[in-house]
Structure 1
Amino acid sequence: MDRIRIVGGQKLNGTIPISGAKNATLPLMIASLLTEDRLVLENVPRLADVIQLQRILGNHGVDVMIAGKRAGDEPNIGRTIELSAKHIVDTTAPYELVSTMRASFWVIAPLVARMGEAKVSMPGGCTIGTRPVDLLIMALEKLGAQIEIEGGYVIARAKNGLRGGDINFPKVTVGGTHTALMAAVLAKGTTVIENAAREPEITDVADCLTKMGAKITGAGTSRIVVEGVAGLNGARHSVLPDRIETGTYAMAVAMTGGDVLLQHARPELLQAALDVIAQAGATVTPTNEGIRISRNGSGLKPVDVATAPFPGFPTDLQAQLMALMTRAEGTSHITETIFENRFMHVQELARLGAQIQLNGDTATIEGVKRLKGAPVMATDLRASVSLVIAALAAEGETTVNRVYHLDRGFERLEQKLAACGAMIERISG
């Protein structure tokens, strides 16, 4: 099993190209099930989760073609993939495919919308809490789907098609909003989604669906209105840049010092996180090419942060911020309001010398003058990269084990960091 070896103490200087957003790519790929025509997606990141979703979609009969290498191609430019769901041959998504990735459960919406039926295994993915699918099921029921749960599978039926309805989510849910959107675009009549997630990835998917012929207004706000259409056509769409990758590398630069251009990054996608990074002592400068992050020899300042749905501070950057705060000059507090079991990185950061106390959903971090390298283990996708950030500033050598978590969400991480001066390498086997 691969692991990553890091020798800390190097400042980061140079350019890091930001990849297409994983959290937009996956629902965009799933949206291909809504049409017989080809959907072409550009700027698709090279990630393990993308490969797994290709397998899942292939099981339903989707043909996936990845554009081959061309003269002048650069590895830091995302791939182009073409998806064709002309013939859906199977409306069942089996446990062995769905259990490894939570987002794959979302296939239930386009399958029942287009085919009138779907049988999808309960999802898997990162072990960061229960993350139930009850709100996704509720959304489908509001649109007329009949739901049964049997043997670990959710079975949805709408023999006469879905119909528009009012969906009012009791709490903000990205998965529920994606599901409601994809189900509503082919439903008969008007659907109103209240308390919808406002994340940029929701807007990106809505933009793509609109190119495919859907009638959607209000994406990016808490109230989305969808006028159902009889069918969707194909389209070409470029995936927006990954705000979580942007924030992760911004915190790595803040941690180590140096000066790095995060190429293609868009500040409006993560302004709350950039504000916190600036508060911690880094200089954040939007440019025509992306975002520059720099920090000279000045120390890091402590911050107090609570995670929140967009436009608040993202839960997917909580672990990275905690790593950064281990070296702050003072006491920081981070409150996790989204997932109830997302502090598993704390004990691994402690192996590097971090001083962190947990009290319910709040972590108190006492900054230390130095971290020391040690063997650590990745526990989930975002926690794993927090260990990398800490290791970049730790004295001596750190080995991060179980890096398959990293490969799910970060494209070419060690190459991007090494190009900016980090002493980092992947060790296979």
Structure 2
Amino acid sequence: MRVLVLGSGVVGVSSAYYLAKAGHEVTVIDRQPASGLETSFANAGQVSPGYSAPWAAPGIPVKAMKWLMMRHRPLVLWPSVEPRLYGWLARMLANCTEEAYTRNKGRMVRLAEYSRDVLRDLRVETGIAYDHRERGTLQLFRTRKQLDHVGDDTKVLDAYGVAYQVLDPAGCVAAEPALGRVKDKIVGGLRLTGDETGDAHLFTQRLAAICEELGVTFRYNVTVTGLQASGGRVTGVACGSEVLHADAYVAAMGSFTPALLRPLGLNLPIYPVKGYSLTLPVMDPEAAPVSTVMDETFKVGLTRLGDRIRVGGTAELAGFSQALRPPRRATLERCVHDLFPAGGDLGRATFWTGLRPMTPDGTPIVGATRYDNLYTNTGHGTLGWTMACGSGRLLADLMSGRAPDIAHDDLAVSRYAA
């Protein structure tokens, strides 16, 4: 079967790999000059099944109001007259119930745990290297209140069999020795021992090279302008004056997928939630993080990627703006300087922003659509790197007529029909 994959981020390239392994003739289309140059380029670097949870949760509306008042706030909302933003927010608020949270968390953990296992198999099979480490994630608590509420998190982790450790300050320092220099700022932590780290951009580019060895064709600098459909099937992809044809199509364009599918009557409730990152060279390896530290107060992740530190955070609702805003940089700089003051060289840091494709229930949209030969693999939010391989393998199985290894009906766009 000839398949066109639209988008060459980590999700699109992972889809192409597993489709090619299943024997399909695959072509990947992207407007960029190479793979992994948009949202996959400089994300926080975490492969975090243990941290897979929807943002929509009980208590979040109250917390969000407090976050908006913070100087170094993890949530930023720009005034807008955009109806889609407020519709998306309304649907997200509707998911802030215990019942919805439990349902959505279950979906996300199921896919994330599967994806981590698939990624490990891929490493064994291909030998791919991407500055990865298997040293877990440490969620760091600065206040006694945060530590006292750790039971809320562990209850959910217990329900889904996710391995963890609740740590006192000494335990945090044992996991991340550089924190010993600032241990007076720590009251405890939650360590998710099964989590991993790695450079998503490096992974995407190296997997794309493996895909080419498998016969996958990549067409870069090609902008998709629309889909053509007839009789319940997609018949072609318009790329300016050129129309490309295939037997099946995969929409994996992240935040830009809804605009592509809307003319076909497919309404994907995805909004671009803007995130920021700093990447700085390590100055002193002994003073830098070993794996990932999540600063619970500011919702900022600090990850070791080889000889670099990646600092990622902020959820900014600002449409498709990709402006690099100095206050967001100040928050990231504050966190890394506060926790790892001698670890990295802030004077040589690079500042980046990307648009995370978020659904209101936190779960990506993976699977078939009401068009017989059109599939989606999008809406992964902050967890595209975490869920990429599992989503790609799942989709390839579905498109190949094989029974997937995990339940999948509640991941497709049809779950929004109700």
Give the TM-score of the pair, scaled to structure 1. 0.29
More helix by share: 2
Bigger Rg over Cα: 1
Structure with more relative contact order (C-alpha pairs < 8 Å, separation 6 or more): 2
